[in-house]
Amino acid sequence: MLRQVEGSQAVARAVTLCRPQVIAAYPISPQTHIVESLSDRVRTGELLGCEYLMVESEFGAMSACIGAAGAGARTYTATSSQGLLFMAEALFNASGLGLPIVMTVANRAIGAPINIWNDHSDAMAMRDSGWIQLYADSNQEAVDLHLQAYRLAESLSVPVMVCMDGFVLTHAFEEVDLPDQEQVDAFLPRFVPQQALDPEDPVTIGAMVGPEAFAEVKYLMHVKQMAALDEVPAIADDFRTAFGRSSGGLLKPYRVDDAETVVVALGSVLGTIEEVVDTMREEGHRIGALGITCFRPWPVAEVRAALAGARRVVVVEKAFAVGAGGIVGQNVRDATRSLPVEVYDVVAGLGGRPITRASLRGLLDDVLAGRVDAGRLHFLDLDHELVQRELERARHGERPGPHAENMLRALGTVASGAYE
């Protein structure tokens, strides 16, 4: 059923249709509307048979989910930003125990300085925690991915996080096709846990493992993740058959078949990128876009195949590894190793800064004209005057200026250039 609805409310409805038995909730912007809505749905009886736990922290939320999933319950939680980092220890426990927990991450910047707006630094910081990571490019896909996430989590007994851009999607009102309960029940079978604690047959899970078996445990976690590379597209195919629309999968190629230049990105910025691609195609440029829906596990073979014909790959990402460079960009380089392609790492949209069509077009024009160095990390729309001013203040031992009072003093040197 088509409805004009806020993204958070649409996700809450999708989660309700999945019939979770335990929801552990702790509010943090911008995911709060999701758990608030779920609380109302439990209170009013729309979501029956569900224990709604108001916990004392994000660490408590994930710990409660671990206990519930360990006991054999279908579980759910949501978080964002510092909340995701606060539950970091528990994230590794959930994946190490092979528990099929589903969690929404409303992507938001990590402080300091404090910033409540969108980028991907929170989920990227936890990219190696053993959770499958799926990224939605729209509210419709956010709804669809939650249904698929439960199928995926429970078929492989692994935890899955569905990442959706905070505020950009969570608070946006869009027309969304919300399925009915019968459709979801047919697509998502009743949960039968692969492992469950039983008081009548007590065992200990998560006990200490010594050097003689620890590597094997980690290897088996890796095997499950790699199995998802087959399971994710298979579930997406089943979803298309059941609901009549394409959603999910590993990648989302857009006009890449004959493209010499391909822009790679995750999340809601893909819509803007596709508009720029369409404009440049009309002007005769052979350009396309490649959306990454499944970032963990990383689909090496599929990315390599999608980019095999490209000469240039421009990776636009909303996070980066401080002191190292692009995160997604490095993964793309791994996938395209030995191919005759140049990979450009471009950081954009940090802390919610808008990524405009004009900025993207200017970037791509400069890449095509050879004005951008593929060997450097570039920052889209970086305010060079502000950075240089603060560097001078730092060199002279002065306090940061009024527009950069929270900037780090040890900024190092910043080279000149349009993007740096």
Give mean pLDDT in consecutive 10-residue pieces for the chain, a chain of 420 residues: 96 98 98 98 97 98 98 98 98 97 98 96 98 98 98 98 98 97 97 92 90 96 97 98 98 98 98 98 98 98 98 98 97 97 98 98 98 95 90 82 50 40
| pLDDT for position 403 | 56
- Tell me if 166 sits within 8 A of 118, measured CB to CB: yes
Cβ–Cβ < 8 Å for 37, 9: yes
Determine contact, residues 298/330, Cβ cutoff 8 Å: no
The secondary structure of residue 197, as a DSSP letter, is: -
**pLDDT at residue 161, as a whole number:** 98
pLDDT of the residue at 28? 98
Residues 232 and 152: beta-carbon distance below 8 Å: yes
Point out which residues pair with 8 in neighbouring strands.
Answer: none
Degrees to nearest 5, angle at CA 64 with 60 and 67: 140
At 414 the three-state DSSP class reads coil
Is residue 83 exposed (0-12), middle (13-18) or buried (19+ Cβ within 10 Å)? buried
Phi-psi category of 319—alpha, beta or left, where left has phi over 0 and alpha has psi -120 to 50? Answer: beta
3-state helix, strand, coil in the chain (%, to 5): 40, 20, 40
**In terms of Cα–Cα distance, which of 127, 108, 131, 140 is closest to 270?**
140
7-30: b (≥16 Cβ within 10 Å) or e: bbbbbbbbbbbbbbbbbbbbbbbb
| Predicted pLDDT at 363 | 98
Note the pLDDT of residue 402: 61
- C-alpha to C-alpha distance for 395 and 338, rounded to whole angstroms: 43
Q: What is the pLDDT of residues 159-212, one digit of tens each?
A: 999 999 999 999 999 999 999 999 999 999 999 998 899 989 998 888 899 999
Residue-level pLDDT at 207: 85
Look at residue 1 in the predicted model and tell me its pLDDT.
86
Q: What integer best gives the mean pLDDT of the chain?
A: 94
3-class DSSP state for residue 271? helix
- Other beta carbons within 10 Å of 324: 9
Q: What is the pLDDT of residue 16?
A: 98
Q: How far is 297 from 226, CA to CA, in rounded Å?
A: 6
